Chain A
Amino acid sequence: MNFELTEDHIMMREMVRDFAETEAAPGSEERDEKEEFPMELWKKCGGLGLTGVTFPEEYDGAGADYISYAITVEELSRVDASLGVTISAHSSLCANPIYIFGTEEQKKKYLAPLARGEKMGAFGLTESMAGSDASGTRTTAVRDGKDYVINGSKIFITNGYYADTYVITAQMDKSKGNKGISAFILEKGTPGFTFGKKEKKMGIRSSATYELVFENVRIPAANLLAQEGQGFKVAMTTLDYGRIGIASQALGIAQGAYEQAMKYAKEREQFGKPISALQAIQFKFADMATSIEAARLLVYQAAFIASEHKIPVSKYAAMAKVFASETANKVTTQAVQILGGYGYTRDYPLERMMRDAKITEIYEGTSEIQRVVIAASILKD
């Protein structure tokens, strides 16, 4: 048993933190305000190899482990949760299913440019009638000669519009329910593939969230991911790993809010002393620090398991995600409380962090779904 990060992990954390603080933090407020996608930062992330952390070098990834990935998303989200989810959705939800389920040809064609950051990835699973229950998928795929023809739409798609490569699911045989679903790789610019509404969100406002619309979109048969009927399996496996990304994002938000509140509490004087000298404030920090540490251990444990491949990651990723996201919500709420009126204004980043934290309890499986996953796993044992 060893709880120490390796030298590589420490150097990675220093590198990502340096990048996040010098490049991502300064404009984060304005991007949130204007709902502006961080395209320039995205390109810089590619240059630093943050777009392909876990993928092998042969596909132009960094060949690092999931702890390195967790640290990356955590450090980005510590200053800008929108940038954190942009990297997480790209890596976990698009590049990763292509890595796990793709043919050698698909990996060379799609994974390598994603890992290099030349192309951005997105994942289309959710529909208006298919959220937590994927069997409600109404987007259809029909085999027609050498192609599949896709019709339907997807909603709430992170990186939508900006992404070049999309992994999407579609129903091929409704009578088979989840087993009728297949997964496909779809390129931006394919005729009939357009973007609908851009969501106006409460938080992570500088990340892009779009509707995808498919009208007789023809995809070559070579772009089927895994086998016909395995789309549900592809989606569930993708989300298992993806949850480590969102758990890391939540952890980063919590850490960032905690540090901001600590800095403020040491400077803000009331009753003739810094408010950090007041026990009411100190106890809040003690609770915040304890929750963050517990969340970090769960997140890194899930990341460790994801790298080792010895036991299924599903339960651990769900535990990390539900705990870290609930921690992010508790911590950001307390952080705003510590700053009082100032915390509620946009002069400080805490109100943004509190808005950003909420989504971590919702996307890539709500907290309720995480508990379903955890319960199913432990009751089976």
Chain B
Amino acid sequence: MNIVVTVKQTFDTEAKIVLDGKGNIDGSGVNLVINPYDEFAIEEALKLKEKFGGEITIVSVGGEAATKAIRTALAMGCDKAVRVDDPALADADEWAVAEILGKVVSKLPYDLILSGRIAVDDGSSQVAVRLADALGVPSVSSILKLDIEGTAATVTREIDGGTELIEVKLPALFTAQKGLNEPRLPSMKGIMGAKKKEIAVQSLADAGADPGAVAAKMIVPKLSLPNPRLAGKLIPGEAPDAARELAKLLREEAKVI
């Protein structure tokens, strides 16, 4: 069974987000980690490989910094990787990244594709499903359980207030939700072995994508930080008076009712 896993390098979720002078996110000194949801995707791929054999290829769009996430995936047990890196990708949006991933993945043998359900940095949840669309394969999002028999997959996915059971034919794309599995740590041997595994770095041209054809469709005019959380206000007095005062403040000051 050949499996493709898409991986993104993201900020550590505990990182403090700071904007630089130009209003862009300042990534200097921030600890980068593998997107936590991608780890669920990797773990699921490893479990399938243990059961059915085959090869796992990591595909990532990102600069040199993404190498760390890819190496972690290889240390966990994935077999090889493709990283697409091109100066033209500086402003790539979700559509562009999905198009590029589509070009790369379409040249790989695959029975299924696994992705994280969301990246913890920009949180758009778009790339994986757009990739499925680019490849013309079905996708199931936020999966909690995956069983495969032959070319049939039985999937449990999370929906509002419950779960949904879906049957789908492979090849298909699945996005991993927390709860799908418990990602393993890379072992010492895995870490030592990771550097012997191939990470093919491709430009847009290598990937078969025309830079003009994958220009971003979305423009981000401005980024802003959320307002700092203000200290709470304690309303003194007896309950009936305090409640009246609270209602007044909610209407006149907070303007929420």
Q: Is B63 an interface residue (CB 8 A)?
A: no
Stretch at the interface among A61-69, A106-114, A265-273, A304-312: A61-69
Known A8-B191, A62-B191; 19 more pairs at CB < 8 Å: A8-B195, A11-B75, A11-B191, A12-B191, A15-B185, A15-B186, A18-B185, A19-B185, A48-B185, A48-B188, A49-B188, A53-B188, A57-B189, A57-B192, A62-B187, A64-B188, A64-B192, A68-B188, A72-B188
Mark B187-221 against chain A: 1 for CB-CB distance below 8 A, else 0.
Answer: 11111101100000000000000000000000000
Collect the chain A residues with CB atoms within 8 Å of residue B189's CB: 49, 57, 62-63
Which 5 A-B residue pairs are closest in the complex by CB-CB distance?
Answer: A49-B188, A62-B188, A49-B187, A62-B189, A49-B189
Q: Is B68 an interface residue (CB 8 A)?
A: yes
A202-239 with Cβ < 8 A to chain B: none
CB-based contact A11/B72 at 8 Å = yes
Inter-chain CA distance A8–B187, complex, in Å, is 11
Q: Is B117 an interface residue (CB 8 A)?
A: no
Q: Is A191 an interface residue (CB 8 A)?
A: no
CB-based contact A8/B68 at 8 Å = no
Name A's B-contacting residues (CB within 8 A).
7-8, 11-12, 15, 18-19, 47-50, 52-53, 57, 62-64, 68, 72
Collect the chain B residues with CB atoms within 8 Å of residue A12's CB: 188, 191
Query: In the complex, what residue of chain A is closest to B76 when comparing beta carbons?
Result: A15
Q: Is B80 an interface residue (CB 8 A)?
A: no
Collect the chain A residues with CB atoms within 8 Å of residue B186's CB: 11, 15
**Shortest distance from the beta carbon of B100 to any chain A beta carbon, whole Å:** 26
Inter-chain CA distance A72–B191, complex, in Å, is 13
CB-based contact A62/B192 at 8 Å = yes
**Shortest distance from the beta carbon of A17 to any chain B beta carbon, whole Å:** 10
Query: In the complex, what residue of chain B is closest to A9 when comparing beta carbons?
Result: B191
CB-based contact B188/A7 at 8 Å = no
CB-based contact B185/A8 at 8 Å = no
Inter-chain CA distance A57–B192, complex, in Å, is 10
CB-based contact B185/A7 at 8 Å = no
Q: Is B8 an interface residue (CB 8 A)?
A: no
Q: Is B130 an interface residue (CB 8 A)?
A: no
